[in-house]
Amino acid sequence: MRFETSTIKDIAKALGLSTSTVSRALRDRYEISEETKKIVLAYAEKVNYRANPIARSLKERRSYSIGIIVSEIANNFFSQVINGIESIAYAKDYHVIISQSHESYKQEKLNVEHLASRSIDGLLIALSSETQDIDYLRDLYSKGLPIVFFDRVPDDFETHKVIANNFKGSFDATEHLILSGKRVIAHLTNSETLSNTKERLEGYKAALAKYHIEFKPELVKYCQHGGMHSVELEQAVKELLPLQPDGIFISSDRLTTGCIMALRKTNPEVAHKIAIAGFTNSNLVELFSPSLTSVKQPAFEIGQVATELLISMIEAKRPVTEFETKVLDTELIRMQKQFGNRFL
């Protein structure tokens, strides 16, 4: 049985009005009297009328939909970004279509091309950890698809970008470990090709240099798939433990939570002796064991700003030629441990 919905023609016939009058009343046009608008809107509500997005798209040559590509929706950071995107998109009558790359370049490309074939009006994307070739995005962009990058952004792509202050966030976290008395500080991070990996590594190095601690490359471990594969993460932890780090700075949400579990699984006795500071937007930080000092990104705001910039491109009357890279500040949340009546 096919689901039938009321149309503008149905409403017009029932009320004895022209379809153009009903259409204008539903769009709150000034040339329709307030009394007529009230009658039309009341009847439309009664019959549960909903505008036909396909008809609207054909008429205006727009789908009023935005595509979103993230590595993983379950990631705390990305789920909060999506909430921010939706808060702006829905307020401006756009729908969102979310796809996951699972850190796969092939999956990312397939998802983007599928979304483009569905006539999305614009794309918001955080690149996968495998992505190095973005020619397919350049091609779509050159054909008129507005694209805004967030979090993981390319260097040589002229469009809007929205990121956290990765350098400052990593500097603050590493400095916190140093000021807590740590001197052998390891760094667990994502794929070395990602923009935020590079920026967070530089922040880590800068903090070490400020306190005259030698940077040792062997203390840096890359997880090419960002902790999505537990074997990869556990191997990185096993390689770090013989180096006897007394602190670890971790560069991403999934790696931070995954590292804690890997430490407890690999060597639970040592796990509680290592101080951890890492990027995470989890709301359950205080429950982690061992505890950690966290760098919180303004994920919701990143989503909002990226969406506002994308919609401004979509609705621009002329081609946009001037672009911004918005950098939003992170927040260091220090974990306090109680010893007797003192906090450390």
Contact by Cβ (8 Å): 330, 164: yes
Which comes out higher in pLDDT, residue 40 or 330?
A: 330
State the pLDDT at residue 2. 46
Does residue 57 carry a pLDDT above 60? no
State the average pLDDT over residues 107-118: 95
State the pLDDT at residue 100. 97
Beta bridge partners of 95: 65
Please state whether the predicted TM-score (pTM) of the whole model is above 0.85.
Answer: no
Phi, psi of 339 (to 5 degrees): -125, 105
State the pLDDT at residue 256. 84
State the pLDDT at residue 334. 81
The least confident of 13-27, 102-116, 204-218, 305-319 is 13-27
Rounded Cα distance between 107 and 317, Å, is: 33
Q: SS3 for 280?
A: coil
State the average pLDDT over residues 101-109: 96
State the average pLDDT over residues 183-203: 96
State the pLDDT at residue 327. 98
Contact by Cβ (8 Å): 201, 182: no
The least confident of 29-38, 84-93, 131-140, 213-222 is 29-38
At 246-255, the pLDDT tens digits run 999 999 888 8
HSE-up of residue 43 (Cα within 13 Å, Cβ side):
20
Work out the percent of the chain whose per-residue pLDDT is above 70: 90
Does residue 77 carry a pLDDT above 90? yes
